[in-house]
Chains A and B, each alone.
Chain A
Amino acid sequence: MSLVNVSCSPHLHEQVSVRRVMWTVVIALLPALLAAYLFFGWRSIWITILGVIAAVGTEALVQFLTKKPITISDGSAVVTGMLLAFNLPPLTPWWIPVIGSVFAITIGKQIFGGLGYNPVNPALLGRAFLMASWPVQMTTGWATKLANAGISTVSGLKQTLITGGDTQLQNLITSATPLNLAQQIRGDIIAGTAGDSARTIFHQLSSLDYIKELFWGNIGGCIGEVSAAALILGAAILVYKHYIEWRIPIGYIGTVAFLSWMVGGIDGLFSGPILFHIFSGGLILGAFFMATDMVTTPVTKNGRLIFGIGCGLLTVVIRTWGGYPEGVSYSILIMNVATPFIDKITPQKPFGYRKKSKK
């Protein structure tokens, strides 16, 4: 008889591997990329490809230079490159995704030892770096898109503006994403510097018709965050495969929904437009694809829930009172850093656990 294999049990495996998980995430991100192409054109695909090539190239180079096995085929660098590009405006200069990916892979990932050891989400770290270094390139580049895309509702908004004759608002609407717009208008209203037209616009932004546009993606925004529908479709694949679990996304979105309802409105407490806050900005992308990054999120069940709730809390705080219109990426980064601590304070209780072990 020839030699046989001997190992510890279990002798069966689900046939899941790092590679399979990562490439499934890539597939799950494709619907959003397709939506980006439909709404923003080839440019968004081009930016994404640049981000991916830079990420994969950097990973290979760093691993080659540090004489480590080259693991680019596991797909994790592809995911990082895609997620980074998804967080960029479609008309951003070509070198933005390249620099972002290089930074994300070297400083965000390989410097800590590669996949599995990075403390924060590399793509988000890359974005934060870009945001701090080239704020202009990171926050413009979607203006024309919004104007082009606004076939129905946005033109309606414009009509309101023209009749209202508020030129300051008119500038805003052509230079910002819906979330950005809503937050600035809201700020003006609360400060008492805006006219009645601003109120009308705010209400129109949170109208069901406009939410529909938000949901399908007929709006301005970053490449990957444009279509909530496409993102949810992709996320469904990951949920079905048990690669992401409900606690983080539901905890995150639920918290944002509740808190933005509480403080996100213009008519006092509990008047906020919930659906507008859920489907605008990067929340859906963040909640399903970035806050669920396996490596940088808690392992324990309660920890994951706390992580999601914490992300939601920070997002609403930044959106409502912060200097940035969008708080998704920073809240996830902050919670990433808190992850080891969250794991520590949320030990799992074994089945049948009883408080006092009586002898």
Chain B
Amino acid sequence: MCAKTFKGGIHPHDHKHFSNHKAIEKFPAPEKLYIPLIQHIGRPALPIVKVGDEVKKGQKIAEADGFVSIPLHSPVSGKVTKIGPYPHPTGTIQHAIEIENDARNEWISKLIDDEQYFALSAEKMKGRIQEAGICGMGGAGFPTHVKLSPPENRPIDTVILNGVECEPYLTSDHRLMLEYPEDIIAGLRIIMKILGAKRGYIGIELNKKNAITIFKQMLRDQKNINVVPCMLRYPQGAEKQLIYAATKRKVPAGGLPMDVGVVVQNVGTAFAIYEALRYHKPLIERITTISGAIVNEPKNLKVPIGTPLSQLLEYCGGTSEEIGKIISGGPMMGFALPDMEAPATKTTSGFVFLGNKEVIDTTEAPCLHCGRCVDACPMNLVPSFIADNVKNGQYEEAMKLSVLDCMECGSCGYVCPSHIQLVQWIKIGKLEVNKLKRQDK
């Protein structure tokens, strides 16, 4: 088995042993759910229900606002009790629809089993995906139907499923791959059919050997779909890095995967696509990992979208000591939350809890110019120089140093001996550079 990888990157401890052996458990729908109108990249969905409306499970409660947006569906049957600002798992406050669960679990229409789904035309398939409100479930949350509609001058020959899951602690994709491999492969075939792609790859990191074995077994007679075992290296799951590992193609700086004929989808997205096509099931639940050394019973849960974090932690037996940090997403790119009110959304791959001893020191010392951030950067940037320029307000310089190519993977901050908050400075720099660019236009 020859594992593939990319240049740069880091080797953090993966901490996956807390939950990688725990089968997915279905989390019972809570009494109240909070469904944020924005869970994806693009415009927020527009509510089509009013306070006081009765809704059924799977009923559409918000409409996509334009092409780059997705509709939302109710994960339970019950009543809309409020539409207003509510904590969001990105650490911000966003509008959300509050639904009171009536515990009757009534679907809006019976789930069907359309065995002939694969005979549908590519356009029909895409339409069904769009209606199901599916967005990328790896973290960024780009609307899937948009990703599946590349312009005609960008032919796609390769689809890569991202099962790398390089963020420490998270195991939701891993469990999904172990428990639903056929469905994931079916999802991949759908994506390949829609895009007319001839080749498919499934990228999996070597710390999920059992998943690699399962997929190799299932794909042994398939010539056009291959498993790509990837070296343990963060951020192996970053889109451009995974494409490079699987195909040796380099996505141009500032470009998109489709520029090199590739579309990457998360394994969770492929699973959701399969369910949407075969069962007409909208995206109302997802697999989420609740983990951390201080969590009493780390779990992989099938969670209705909109479930508040506090209830998920309670279901996992709480924590054994005082919580030092609550992270929504993985610890490398996730957001630190001030409390546990925020709900799980379509892009929530996990929540990680750190004890006070595990919280890292963020006091900055002077830069030593050691260049470790340069060696760690998978995008081959100079994070220390970018941070320096941003600190001094020299955004033009930061732009020249390609600050916009940064994907904020956090490798630089991870290795910095001076504990400089490089990602924070770079995030500020990106905002300011984008402002400058808008002014120029």
Contact = CB atoms under 8 A, between A and B. Distances in A.
Contacts of A114: 366
A10 B358 CA distance: 12
B253 A11 contact: no
Contact of B374 (A115, A117, A242, A299): A299
Interface stretch (B94-102, B196-204, B276-284, B380-388): B380-388
B70 interface: no
Interface string A324-359: 000000000000000000010001111111100100
Interface string A155-189: 00000000000000000000000000000000000
Contacts of A353: 252-253, 380
B362 interface: yes
A351 B378 contact: yes
A18 B365 contact: yes
Given A116-B418, A299-B371, A4 B402 contact: no
Nearest to B243: A352
Contacts of B359: 5, 11
B396 to A, nearest CB: 14
B405 A350 contact: yes
A157 B415 CA distance: 51
Interface in A1-32: 1-2, 4-14, 16-18, 20-21
A298 interface: yes
A18 B354 CA distance: 24
A127 interface: no
A4 B365 contact: no
Interface string A18-53: 101100000000000000000000000000000000
Contacts of B414: 10, 12-14
A295 interface: yes
Q: Which of B360, B382, B410, B417 has the most CB of A within 10 A?
A: B417
Given A11-B331, A20-B417, A116-B418, A6 B250 contact: no
A233 interface: no
A294 interface: yes
Interface string B348-372: 0000101000011110011111111
Interface stretch (B37-45, B115-123, B335-343): B335-343
Contacts of B88: none
A277 interface: no
A352 B332 contact: no
A347 B362 contact: no
B368 A294 contact: yes
Given A6-B91, A11-B327, A352 B255 contact: yes
B384 A12 contact: no
Interface string B288-313: 00000000000000000000000000
Interface in A243-280: 243, 245
Contacts of B323: 1-2, 4
A304 interface: yes
Given A4-B325, A351-B250, A115 B366 contact: yes
B375 interface: yes
Contacts of A116: 365-369, 418
B372 A11 contact: no
B151 interface: no
A2 B382 CA distance: 38
A204 interface: no
A135 B328 CA distance: 63
B360 to A, nearest CB: 4
A1 B405 contact: no
B251 interface: yes
Nearest to B354: A11
A301 B401 CA distance: 14
A4 B338 contact: yes
Interface string A112-153: 011111000000000000000000000000000000000000
Contact of A350 (B253, B360, B384, B416): B253
Interface stretch (B49-57, B182-190, B421-429): B421-429
Contact of A6 (B255, B337, B411): B337
Interface in A296-315: 296-301, 304
A327 to B, nearest CB: 24
A20 B416 CA distance: 12
Nearest to A339: B369
Interface string A98-124: 000000000000000111110000000
A18 B340 contact: no
Most interface-central of A2, A11, A117, A243 (chain B CB within 10 A): A11
A115 B369 CA distance: 10
A350 B381 contact: yes
A14 B168 CA distance: 13
Contacts of A243: 370
B393 interface: no
A6 B325 CA distance: 7
Contact of B380 (A6, A21, A298, A351): A351
Nearest to A11: B331
Contact of B423 (A8, A17, A113, A294): A8
Contacts of B12: 12, 14
B339 A352 contact: no
Contacts of A299: 369-371, 374, 382, 384-385
Contacts of A16: 372, 415-417
B78 interface: no
B419 A9 contact: no
B370 A21 contact: yes
Contact of B251 (A4, A115, A295, A352): A352
Given A116-B368, A350-B381, A10 B423 contact: yes
A288 to B, nearest CB: 15
B86 to A, nearest CB: 18
Interface string A183-209: 000000000000000000000000000
Given A14-B12, A304-B371, A357-B254, A351 B240 contact: yes
A12 B331 contact: yes
A7 B362 contact: yes
B328 to A, nearest CB: 10
Contacts of B400: 347
B322 A2 contact: yes
6 contacts: A5-B359, A6-B338, A10-B410, A11-B332, A351-B244, A353-B380
Top 5 A-B pairs ranked by shortest CB distance? A10-B410, A116-B366, A294-B370, A8-B424, A11-B331
